[in-house]
Amino acid sequence: MNRLTPEAIAEGLESGRFRYMRKRCKRGHEWAGTGKSVSRTSTKKCLFCGLENARAQYENTDRNTEEYREVRRIRNQRYRDRLKTEGGDRLEDHRRKHVERNRRWRTESEESFRATLRRYRTSEKGKLLNKANHNRRRAAKENSHSARYSRKDLRSRLSEFDNKCVYCAKVVTTENTHSWDHFIPLSRGGCDTLGNLVLACRFCNASKKDRDPETWYFTQPFASDRRWKTLLKRLGIKEPGQLPLL
């Protein structure tokens, strides 16, 4: 598209594409101290009025409509077609330049990109997010009921348990040994919901696996009736066999 630069206008005046108007335009646009307005020879309309009108139309059009998207689609297609016939080489050059630049960017920044990702994954934030995502995928696999919970939910759940394993009461922290345990295992119909997630040490989690929580708990050396009851109460389970729902 030809921009209305001073050079373009001067050139247009010379070639006859534009010409001076006899009178100033209605809005009084004046060209470069000549005291005159310049019009398009073809339309006899002032260049700058045209520009203003186009701008106003652009601003007043709601472009977020289905109709407008269609207009844009056709216009873009027409542009691409034109480039193909008229500027085939230019388009190809352009494309090649982009591909080249992307490739360079990827190789140059790969190491720093990986490092950033690694830092995030090992941060507390990243770990909790990972856990939430991992659980959601697992629940989907087991066809368990799953309710979305966020990294923030997990964090507040973490503090609810005083950073202690609910089974053996060993202190666990995010940095080392904490893990999330589905109290009723997903494979036994447990839900992937916050209410079914408890904080456990890695040892207990690995040892409990998919076993029935109660059976497993009472074969452990640290088993205590009192703590078991407290745990059930905390999970809102009144009768044995009731799945914690939340």
Q: Which residues bind Zn ion (CB under 5 A)?
A: 25, 27, 29, 46, 48-49, 165, 167-168, 201, 204
CB-based contact 68:62 (threshold 8 Å): yes
Shortest distance in whole angstroms from residue 234 CB to Zn ion: 15
Cβ count within 10 A of residue 197: 26
Burial label, 102 (beta-carbon count in 10 A; 0-12, 13-18, 19+) = exposed
Amino acid (one-letter) located at 232: L
Residue number, 49 or 243, with CB nearest to Zn ion: 49
Cβ distance to Zn ion smaller for residue 61 or 220: 220
Closer residue to Zn ion in complex, CB, 53/122: 53
Cα–Cα distance, 157 to 16 (Å, whole number): 77
CA dihedral 219, 223, 227, 230 (to 10 degrees): 0
Q: Which is nearer to Zn ion, 48 or 149 (CB)?
A: 48
Beta carbons of 158 and 199 less than 8 angstroms apart: yes
Q: Tokens 């873009």 appear where?
A: 76
Choose among 70, 93, 75: nearest CA to 1: 75
In the bound state with Zn ion, the residue whose beta carbon lies nearer, of 139 and 165, is 165
Q: How far is the CB of 243 from Zn ion (least distance, A)?
A: 22
Distance in Å, CB of 231 to Zn ion, minimum:
12
CB of 94 to Zn ion, least distance (A): 36
Question: What secondary structure letter does DSSP report for 40?
Answer: E
Task: For residue 11, report the phi and psi dihedrals to the nearest 5 degrees.
Answer: -65, -40
Q: Which segments within 71-196 are labelled E, that is strand? A: 178-182
- Tell me, what DSSP letter sits at residue 64? S
- Minimum distance of Zn ion from residue 214's CB (angstroms): 16
144 vs 232 by CB, closer to Zn ion: 232
Q: Which is nearer to Zn ion, 132 or 172 (CB)?
A: 172
**Minimum distance from CB of 112 to Zn ion (Å)?**
39
Say if CB 166 and CB 231 are below 8 A apart.
Answer: yes
CB of 90 to Zn ion, least distance (A): 34
